[in-house]
Amino acid sequence: MVAFLCRLKESATARKVAESYDPEAKLAAREDQEDVEKVLAGDISAFERIVLRWQGPLINLAYRFCRDHGRAEDLAQEAFLRIYRGLSSWRKDAAFSTWLFSVATNCYRSELRRIPQVVQPIDVVLAMAGSKSASYDALERDDAVRQAVMALPSRYREALILFYFHEMDISSAAQSLGLPEGTVKSRLARGRRILQHKLPQFLGELRLREAQ
């Protein structure tokens, strides 16, 4: 699991470096701005292009929060409604994608508080994992830890999902959660400690990658 989380962050770092030199990413950002301006000017069809560009990432993010494909699609649909209604609140002091993920994250959090996802208590998840830990392969270990993360209190779970599973950096995760970066780092550290304490059969002497 530790290697899995570290690979996620290493791939995210490499991807973000590549994106800083990626002309396609810059083109997409320009298209986002142009389409937002068209929507605000009355061209509703321009929002369809925003949806087509971002529906995959938003469904993917929703799935990481709920682990249910059908509900992830419903959550993404609700997020797009909120994005459409709030387009005029994007102040352009941050990238459109940052603002979009912030709106979507807040939507998912509020909807999952309103209708909570059914998850196994963390001690039940860990008891099931411990009963067969010796025979676990890498994929089964990763799935067990994902279930353990989903069973964490929401303040830790949300930070871990964004930082490790959705590969956001601290700044982006903080903006998405509407929290100071220091608070996100603190919640990541606490969440890691819980997992390290609860999953010694998987984590052993290794340590989760620290948030920088």
Tell me which long-range contacts 75-81 makes (C-beta under 8 A, separation of at least 24).
75/107, 75/108, 75/111, 76/104, 78/107, 78/111, 79/103, 79/104, 79/107, 79/108, 80/51, 80/55
pLDDT tens, position by position, 75-105: 999 999 999 999 999 988 889 999 999 999 9
Domains of the chain: 2-203 (1.10.1740.10)
Between these two residues, 107 and 201, which has the higher pLDDT value?
A: 107
Q: Give the model's confidence band at 132: pLDDT under 50 very low, under 70 low, under 90 confident, else very high.
A: low
**pTM exceeds cut of 0.75:** no
Which of 77-91, 118-132, 135-149 shows the lowest mean pLDDT across its residues? 118-132
pLDDT tens, position by position, 30-45: 899 999 999 999 999 9
**Does residue 120 carry a pLDDT above 70?**
no
pLDDT of residue 32: 94
Cα distance between residue 134 and residue 125, in whole Å: 16
CB 130 within 8 A of CB 200: no
| Percentage of residues of the chain with pLDDT beyond 70 | 71
Span 2-13, average pLDDT:
44
